[in-house]
Amino acid sequence: MELFIEVVVTGIMLGGVYALVALGWTLIYKCSGVLNLAMGELTLIGAYTCLQFYTWGIPFVLSIIFTLIIGFILGILPERIFLDRLIGEPVLTVIMVTVGLSFFFKGLVETLWGTDTRVFSPPVFSLEPYRLFGWLVIGKVYLWSFLAAMILLVLFVAFFQFTKWGLSMQATADDEMAALSLGISARFVYAAAWSIAFMAAGVGGTLLGNINGINISVSHLGLLVLPAVVLGGLNSVPGAIVGGLIIGVLQNLSGAYLDQYFPGGVKEIAPFVFMVIILLFKPYGLWGWERIERV
């Protein structure tokens, strides 16, 4: 029971970081109907950007803030250069452009930083874990990463609920034609969605990099969040958060109890298996909008 509780608690904390990255997936899909397959590479770029600032001697918190600023700028650029020209084009065309962007971003990262694993030095978080109740061991990197992810998630949700820009994004997502008739700029909404997605993915990649180290595989961790997005519902922000927490717990439980019977990466496969099972019964996810067509 002690092992089970420890695995679940650690999974929830890891799931909080997944939820942050999942928010980026959901925002872009919610606003434009496009599944951005470059999200893994956005996570990777954010991780390396924060590491670069930290290597230059900038404190970690300031490095996070600078990463958010860089993410905002880099989020606007691909939307303005590539995707803005594709408004009104078939969705498949836009998705294929995001595939091309993913290869471009990965090549850019390999050119600038190489492929060797790099770590934050000196370590941002102490290796000495917290001990609760005398038996529950929680790594500091997991706890602080979870708290940072939750703070950012609260800020993003507050942005959508209480700011004019956030409400404009929600209106465009609900009914684009009605939003346009009210004077809301769809071009602005799409650019803002990409910027916020880049910011969320970048910070998520930074936090994951503190846990596992940073190399090209961080982009795979970004794609590992896809089951969380599908589980919660592609167009549901609360669903992305809950889905991230569920996938984090499921992944940890799989690693703790199934790796001994199926060695070789069941921890990475389990979320996708779970996603397929959920889709058989809930094709739109737990909180996704069901599309009903009347003839």
| Number of domains the chain contains | 1
Which of 10, 48, 71, 64 lies closest to 199 in space, CA to CA?
Answer: 71
* pLDDT < 50 regions, the chain: none
In a domain, 292, yes or no: no
- Antiparallel, parallel or unpaired: β 130-132 and 136-138: antiparallel
Q: Is residue 21 part of a domain?
A: yes
Which CATH number fits the domain that encloses residue 12?
Answer: 1.10.3470
In Å, how far from its chain's centre is CA 224? 9
**How confident is the model over 79-94, as pLDDT tens digits?**
788 777 776 677 788 8
Q: What is the pLDDT of residue 88?
A: 66
Specify the pLDDT at position 294: 54
What pTM did the predictor assign? 0.87
295 located within any domain: no
Q: What is the pLDDT of residues 162-190, one digit of tens each?
A: 888 778 877 777 676 777 787 877 777 88
Residue 289 lies in a domain: no
Flag whether 43 is in a domain. yes
Q: Is residue 181 part of a domain?
A: yes
Residue ranges making up the domain that contains 156: 2-281
What pLDDT does residue 48 have?
93
Residue 102 lies in a domain: yes
| 78 CB burial (10 A radius; 0-12, 13-18, 19+) | buried
Report yes or no on 288 lying in a domain: no
Residue with tokens 């996938």: 247
